[in-house]
Amino acid sequence: MTINVNETVETIKELVQINSPSGFADPAIEYCKKIAESLNYDTSVTHKGGLLIEVPGKNDDQQRLITAHVDTLGAIVKDIKEDGRLQLDLIGGFSWNAIEGEYCTVTTQSGKEITGTICLHETSVHVYKNTSKIPRDAEHMEVRIDEKTFNPEDTRALGIEIGDAVSFDPRFIHTESGFVKSRHLDDKASVAMILQFLKYLKEENVELPHTTKFYISNNEEIGYGANSNISEKVVEFIAFDMGALGDGQASDEYTVSICVKDGSGPYHVGLRNHFVELCKENDINYKLDIYPYYASDASAALSAGADIRHGLFGAGIESSHALERTHEDSILESEKLLRAYCLSNINS
């Protein structure tokens, strides 16, 4: 049951470099689909664009569904300003200050990509007084595109229009000390771990005790990723997502985080206890935690009316929805729990 964390990190690197804000995640979904099909798994793409991967198991009557999301935070062109720069509207829940100064890419309707920088309009301290006091908001933040444009007509001539996607440079780095730094580790780290697990099952010819469906979600950041297309045979629904770090949190960058409760309410206590027992039995380092301002595709599935036991675990991610970071240790412990859980029996 050896886990090659470096392979997982390489997959994370490939995934975070694919631009896929919510609403524009098709390229990342296609990446995952190609890998799953190369391993001869049955796949299907839902009408709203999510990817379902089915892994047959010994018991087909009691199934599991494990979801991770490939969509990310991003922005959309709201308007083209009089000087040709772009006004933005945010996609997902994050603060403007988290993207100030960030390099970005505008993807036009035709697929053309144009680079730029997200900046405060009044950035220059040599021109504007008290720039530090100016609000970072939709009125003052803009995209300075890397083209000669002086008015809306110049910008539109490039193919840029209202509704085009704006993606943030991930700035991926894997340090010698084992840290993985990048935007969009939420939740492409989990997706990469699932893809590695699927590879392991094929290479080792492992049969799961229960048929398990892996749902790669494309709209989680806006609240409705994997809350549909759930078979009535699914008994347990797991959101394989990030653990939130900060003051008052137990989670860290070196263990797998098991969510007890988030902003939607408590997770299924029996399932949570099962995770804990698996960690103890398999020497998996874990932390139990509450994420106060958080919801997942598992809680969204419950809100949609699914009759399931829901759970949530994943790698601890520092500075979520900004310049994120985790460590190889957390990736390893999370992969270990994913394997242990999928290879265990459902407790009726």
Q: Which residues are catalytic?
A: 220
SS3 267: coil
Closest Cα to residue 216, out of 51, 93, 334? 51
Rounded to whole angstroms, the Cα distance separating 100 from 103 reads 9
Phi, psi for 299 (deg, rounded to 5):
-70, -30
Q: How many CA atoms lie within 13 A of 166 on its CB side?
A: 28
Rounded to whole angstroms, the Cα distance separating 257 from 279 reads 11
Question: For the chain, how big is the Rg over CA atoms in Å?
Answer: 21
Q: Respond yes or no on whether the N-terminal peptide bond of residue 26 is cis (omega within 30° of 0).
A: no
